[in-house]
Amino acid sequence: MSALGAPPPELPPMPCAVCGAPMIATEPQFLHQDPELACRYCGRREALPKDAAQLHRHVRLRLLQLTQAREATEAPLRTFKMMNHSWPQAIGLVALMAAYQAWSLGTHWSNLGKLEPSQAVVGFVPLAAMFGMVSGWLGMRRVFSRQLVPLLRARPPHAPGLAARCRTCGGNLPPVRAPQVSCSYCGASNLLDAALTANAAALLQQEAQEYQNRLKPWARDATLYQAPMRAFYLYGAAGALIGLLLCGFGLVLLAR
Amino acid sequence: MTNYPFFYLIFPAVALGYVLFMRSHHKKKTQEYDEQYANFRAGALAQRLGLQLLKGDPSFNFMVTYANQAVARGATDDKAINIDIEMAGTPFGVPLTFKYLYRVERESGFNSTTYKTWFNCRMAASAKLAFPPFEVTSRNTSVGRIVRQQTLPDAQTHNPAVDAEFQVTTHEPALAQLLGELLPEFSTFGPAGVHLLGDGQQVSFVMNQSTAPMVPSALYYAEVMTHALSTIAQRLGG
C-alpha cells in the first residue's frame, strides 16, 4: 500500500423511498443553494437534511476556494502560453531585421574600407536582441518543462486499476485517452503523461513528501509559476550579452 | 502641392486609419471582455449570490466598468456619471446587502475644469445583536497598504497565521480571539486584500476604486465574501 494509505471509502447507498432505486444528489448551481436528492427512475425529489446540506456546502466552498487560489497562483502561466505561441514569429521578424542590419553593415564596411564604432553598435544591437530573444525563449521553455510540468501532472492512482487523481483537489479524474484532462470537481487541468504510469510508486512517495514539505513555511514559493518569465528575462539578457560579445569578437577577427 | 513627397500625403491618412482602427478594436475588445465576464454583471452577480437587485442597471459589469456607456463616455457638464446599484437578500440566513455608488460630476470654468467623484462599494452583513466595533486589514496586498477608517487599538487574535496575515484592531480582546477563528476563510483573498469594518451592527467588506482591496479583484471572490461575512455576523451577533 502507498504512503498515502487506503483510498477513501465510498458513501452508503441512498435508496428512493418510492421505488428503491439509488438516488443521486443534484449539484446546485450556486453556493447559497441547497442540493436535493433526486431519483432518476420515479422522479422523486427530496431536500437533504440540514446538516448534510451544510456539509455539502462546506465541501463546495472548499473546492471553490481551492479553484480560486489555483487560478490566482497559476495566472502567470497565461503569459507563458501566450509568449510560447507568439514568440517564434517575433523571433523570425527580429532575425530578418538583424540579417538586414548585418548585410548593410558588411556592405558599408566593404565599400568604405573602415567602420566607425557607433556604426558597429547600431549593426550589432538587432543581432544581440535576436540572440536574447532566442535564448530567453529557450530558457523559458526549459524552466517550464523542468519546474512546472511536474506540478501540472495529475496525481497517480492509489492502486493500479483505479482512476488518476486531480493535482489540485485529489478527486478522481474521468477515464480519457488524452494528453490532459480537466477535473470535474474543481476544473483544474491535469497533464497525463507516461511518467504517471511508469513511475506511479515514486510519484505517490513524492506526493506524501510534498505534503510534509508544505508544513514548512520556507518550502512554499508563492511565485513559483512566474519561474518561466523570470527565466525568460535572465536567459534573454545573458543571450543578448553573449550575442554582443560574439559580434565584437567576430568584428575583431574580420578586422585582422 | 506637387513639391511635397508622396509620403507626406500618405502619413496623415495612415495615422487617421490607425486611430480609427484602434478605436474600433478597443470597442470590440470591451464587448469581448464584457461577454467573458458576464457573470459579474449586476443581474448575474445578484443571482449567483442569492441576492435581489433592488436598484441599478442589471447589465452593469463590475469587472469591465468601461463597458457601460456612461462610464465610457465620461462625465460632461450636462450629464454626470451616476452608477448606483443595490442588492439585498439572506443567502445564508443573515441579511446581506451590496451597495455600489460611482458618481462623477464635471464643472467647466473659464480656465479650469473640476471633477467631483463619489465612490462607495461595500458588502455588509447585519447582526441581530450589537457587538463592539472592530477593523481588519490585510498586512500585505499587491497594490499597497489599506487605509484604516477607525482609530482602534491593535489586538492579538492568538492565531499566529491570522496575526501574520491580518491586522486586527478592537477594544475587545475576546472579539479579537473570535476573529482569529473566523478570519482564515478570508485567506482566499490573498494579495487582493481584505478590509473588514465592524461598526457595531454590521460587518462590511469595503472595496475601493484604485486602492486595495479593489472592486474587481475582491468581487472575484464574491461567493466566499458573502459566506464569510454571513458567518462572522452570525457568530458576532446571533
Kindly report, residue by residue over A64-80, the tens digit of the pLDDT: 988 888 888 888 888 88
User: What's the CA gap between A44 and A19, in Å, rounded?
Assistant: 9
Of A32, A33, A68, Cβ closest to residue B220: A68
Of A32, A61, A65, Cβ closest to residue B91: A32
What is the pTM assigned to this prediction?
0.78
What are phi and psi for residue A101, nearest 5 degrees? Answer: -65, -40
User: What's the CA gap between B206 and B123, in Å, rounded?
Assistant: 7
In the block, residue with C-alpha cell 479650469: B112
- Helix/strand number for chain A, H first, E second: 7, 5
Residue B14 has pLDDT above 50, yes or no: yes
- The model's pLDDT over B223-235, given as tens digits with 9 standing for 90+, comes to 999 999 999 999 9
Q: How many domains does chain B divide into?
A: 1
HSE at residue B132, side-chain half, CA atoms within 13 A, is 16
What residues contact residue A217 under an 8 Å CB cut-off, 6+ apart?
A: none
User: What's the CA gap between A144 and A139, in Å, rounded?
Assistant: 9
Predicted local confidence at residue A4, as pLDDT: 54
What residues contact residue B167 under an 8 Å CB cut-off, 6+ apart?
A: B136, B137, B138, B139, B154
- Judged by CB atoms closer than 8 Å, whether chains meet at A72 and B190 is answered as yes
Strand-by-strand arrangement of the A36-39 sheet:
A23-25, A36-39, A45-47
Contact A116, A147 (CB under 8 A): no
- Asked whether residue B118 is assigned to any structural domain, the reply reads yes
Which residues in chain B have their CB less than 8 angstroms from residue A30's CB?
47-50, 223
User: What's the CA gap between A145 and A148, in Å, rounded?
Assistant: 6
The rounded percent of chain B whose pLDDT value lies above 70 is: 96
Over residues A174-182, the mean pLDDT reads 88
Q: Sorting pLDDT into bands at 50, 70 and 90, what band is A12? A: confident
Determine the 3-state secondary structure of B13 from DSSP: helix
- To the nearest 10°, report the CA torsion of A129, A132, A137, A139: 180
A117 prior amide bond cis, ω within 30: no
The rounded percent of chain A whose pLDDT value lies above 90 is: 13
A9 or B151, which is more confident: B151
Among A residues 55-74, those touching chain B with beta carbons less than 8 Å apart: 61, 64-65, 68-69, 72
Contact B105, B83 (CB under 8 A): no
Among B residues 40-99, those touching chain A with beta carbons less than 8 Å apart: 47-50, 91-92
- Asked whether residue B29 is assigned to any structural domain, the reply reads no
Residue A8 has pLDDT above 80, yes or no: no
Residue A105 has pLDDT above 90, yes or no: no
- Which of A205-214, B104-113, B114-123 is predicted least confidently? A205-214
Contact B154, B124 (CB under 8 A): no
Predicted local confidence at residue A219, as pLDDT: 47
Contact A21, A42 (CB under 8 A): yes
- The model's pLDDT over B162-177, given as tens digits with 9 standing for 90+, comes to 999 999 999 999 999 9
- Asked whether residue B22 is assigned to any structural domain, the reply reads no
Residue A109 has pLDDT above 90, yes or no: no
Predicted local confidence at residue A200, as pLDDT: 82
C-alpha distance from A81 to closest chain B C-alpha (Å): 19
C-alpha distance from B67 to closest chain A C-alpha (Å): 23
From A63, which residue of chain B is nearest by alpha-carbon distance?
A: B224
Predicted local confidence at residue A215, as pLDDT: 59
- Asked whether residue B156 is assigned to any structural domain, the reply reads yes
- The model's pLDDT over A21-32, given as tens digits with 9 standing for 90+, comes to 888 888 888 999
Predicted local confidence at residue A208, as pLDDT: 79
Which residues in chain B have their CB less than 8 angstroms from residue A64's CB?
223-224
Q: DSSP per residue over B132-195, as a string?
A: --EEEEES--TT-PPPPSS---EE--S-HHHHHHEEEEES-HHHHHHHHHHGGGGGGGGGG--E
From B51, which residue of chain A is nearest by alpha-carbon distance?
A: A32
Residue A191 has pLDDT above 70, yes or no: yes
- Which of A142-156, B41-55, B93-107, B170-184 is predicted least confidently? A142-156
Closest by Cα among A30, A227, A76 to B191: A76
- Asked whether residue B9 is assigned to any structural domain, the reply reads no
Residue B4 has pLDDT above 70, yes or no: no
User: What's the CA gap between B22 and B25, in Å, rounded?
Assistant: 5
Of A30, A68, A72, Cβ closest to residue B48: A30
Predicted local confidence at residue B162, as pLDDT: 93
Pull the grid cell for residue B233: 455576523
- Judged by CB atoms closer than 8 Å, whether chains meet at B224 and A61 is answered as yes
Best of A33, A65, A214 to substitute, by most chain B Cβ atoms within 10 angstroms, is A65
Predicted local confidence at residue B58, as pLDDT: 96
| Size of chain A, expressed as the number of residues it contains | 256
> Could you tell me if B190 lies within 8 Å of chain A, comparing CB atoms?
yes
Predicted local confidence at residue A106, as pLDDT: 82
Determine the 3-state secondary structure of A65 from DSSP: helix
Residue B84 has pLDDT above 90, yes or no: yes
- Which of A94-98, A152-156, A209-213 is predicted least confidently? A209-213
Residue A214 has pLDDT above 70, yes or no: no
In the block, residue with C-alpha cell 449570490: B49
Alpha-carbon distances, residue B118 vs B75, B83, B100, B193, B209 (angstroms): 13, 10, 10, 22, 10
C-alpha distance from B93 to closest chain A C-alpha (Å): 10
CA B172 to the chain's CA centroid: 29
b/e code A59-79 from CB counts within 10 Å (16+ = b): ebbebbbbbbbbebbbebbee
Predicted local confidence at residue B213, as pLDDT: 94
Q: Which of A174-178, A210-214, B6-10, B95-99 has the highest mean pLDDT?
A: B95-99
End-to-end CA distance of chain A: 71
Beta strands in B18-173 (DSSP E): 52-55, 81-89, 96-108, 113-126, 134-138, 154-155, 166-170
C-alpha distance from A135 to closest chain B C-alpha (Å): 30
Domain of residue B149 covers 39-237
From A61, which residue of chain B is nearest by alpha-carbon distance?
A: B224
Residue A179 has pLDDT above 50, yes or no: yes
User: What's the CA gap between A29 and A60, in Å, rounded?
Assistant: 11
The DSSP secondary-structure symbol of B96 reads E
CA A175 to the chain's CA centroid: 21
| Domain locations along chain A | 23-73, 76-153+193-255
Average per-residue pLDDT in chain A?
Answer: 83
- Which of A222-236, B75-89, B142-156, B181-195 is predicted least confidently? A222-236
What are phi and psi for residue B83, nearest 5 degrees? Answer: -110, 115
Predicted local confidence at residue A5, as pLDDT: 53
- Judged by CB atoms closer than 8 Å, whether chains meet at B50 and A30 is answered as yes
C-alpha distance from B19 to closest chain A C-alpha (Å): 24
Residue A252 has pLDDT above 50, yes or no: yes
- Asked whether residue B161 is assigned to any structural domain, the reply reads yes
Residue A216 has pLDDT above 70, yes or no: no
Residue A228 has pLDDT above 80, yes or no: yes
What are phi and psi for residue B116, nearest 5 degrees? Answer: -115, 125
Residue A11 has pLDDT above 70, yes or no: no
Predicted local confidence at residue A2, as pLDDT: 45
Predicted local confidence at residue A195, as pLDDT: 83
